[in-house]
Amino acid sequence: MKESIKIKNLGPLRNIEIDNIKPLTVLIGESGSGKSLLMKTLILFRYIYKMLNIRWYLRNSNVNKSRFKLSMGNLLTPELKNYFKNKQLEVFYSVEISGRTHSVVYRNGSIDRKTTDSKIPNEDLIFIKESWISEMRDIIPEWAAYGNMPKKRNLDFYFQETLNDFMDATNIDSDIRLDYLGLSLQIEKKSDNKKFLIKPLDGSYSPIEWKYSSSGVQTSSSIVTLIDYFSTQFSFKDAIGRSIINYLYESDTLKSYKPELEPMDMKKIIHIHIEEPELNLFPSAQCKLFDVMALKAFKTVASDREIRLIVATHSPYFVNYLNVLMHQDKENRGAVKPEDMAVYRLYNGTLQPLMATDDSGIPFVDTYDLTEQMESIMKEYESLTSR
């Protein structure tokens, strides 16, 4: 499967083109350069494509009545609505499978129905789960300490998605190892409430409430919890039941349902979008976290699914560590094949690829430009001390 996206005239994103979105895609750039905006646009169009796959599964199964309507007005978050007011905005999203291309195109202020009305045959159908891990995830430990979340509160959409997935994950798992920090996150479940504790693996001190742990522990433990959940424990059977089987019963269309493809036989993909995984972590811990992420997403993942990660970061340490992930081969360590990885610097509204090969043909991530600030600091220091 080859997935691509092109974006023109979206806020700070002047001309963005990713011809082949790899299983691991990393974006680095300055604050305000549009990294999160790019990911939010991508997850939106991935979601639309998910809905198209469900619609065509039903139609291919003789269920022509469908509740899955595609209206950008209903799909856009308040943040994206401001950007999508621009009539010059164009987004071209496509998925190529077995030589066939299926697209979602947005231009002239609306979705091009010619693209979304094009049939997706059974052999190309995918069941997709979208997950967003928000930079606001440091709020979760504080809120989780009080049991049920506050009601009648307008939450940021992306944070709400992160929170919902996290609560689902901790309904299943009660002991999440954070080996990169020598800790574990433990969940004690009592009635409808949960108590979250951080425990040292060596028993050097008593467990403490999660909300009292360091900020780096709080922000990174939710990432590990969610990747572990989606890699091995997320139930596609339940998700398919909610989105397809329940609909057949509720819409009274079960009698006309004549599937040529069992829903569980569709290819299954989980897209995980992560904002700033390095938040509040020391550089060495950032690298260890990335190792754990790669291990869970690409080496110990369940055989019935594929995980795809896209990460927005400010950290050159995080990006540099990709060179280790490409070449290490230890069984209990993370690894990503060079052909499954893409790294881009977002600069001046465009993407600069950072993947390269050396004189021997060995692939590496070229992070030379990311050292500019360090060199600038040293030059300023030298100018001050040489007087």
Confidence of residue 365 (pLDDT cuts 50, 70, 90): very high
The answer, as to whether pTM is greater than 0.75, is yes
- pLDDT for residue 363 is more than 60: yes
pLDDT of residue 67: 61
174 pLDDT more than 80: yes
Q: Which carries the bigger pLDDT value, residue 207 or residue 331?
A: 207
- Quick: pLDDT tens for 182-191: 999 999 988 7
pLDDT digits over 81-119, tens only? 999 999 999 999 999 999 999 999 999 999 998 998 899
The per-residue b/e assignment along 348-369, b for 16 or more CB within 10 angstroms, e otherwise, is: ebebeebbeeeeeeeebbbbee
* Average of per-residue pLDDT values in the chain: 91
Is the pLDDT score of 150 beyond 60? no
Reported as a pLDDT band with limits 50, 70 and 90, residue 251 is confident
Q: Answer yes or no: is pLDDT of 152 > 70.
A: no
* Nearest 10 degrees: Cα torsion 292, 297, 299, 300: 90
| Alpha helices, H only, 201-337 | 215-228, 236-240, 246-250, 283-294, 316-320, 322-327
CB atoms within 10 A of CB 252: 9
357 pLDDT more than 90:
yes
Is 173:222 a contact under the CB 8 Å cutoff?
A: no
pLDDT at position 378: 72
Sheet of strand 306-313, all strands in order from the earlier edge strand to the far edge? 126-133, 267-275, 306-313, 24-29, 341-347, 350-353
**With contact defined as beta carbons under 8 Å apart, do 53 and 95 qualify?**
no
Share of the chain above pLDDT 70, in %: 95
**pLDDT tens digit string along 117-146?**
899 999 999 999 999 999 999 999 988 777
pLDDT above 90 coverage of the chain, percent? 76
- Is the CB of residue 261 less than 8 Å from the CB of residue 125? yes
Residue 17 and residue 84: Cα distance in Å, rounded?
18
At residue 70, the pLDDT reads 73
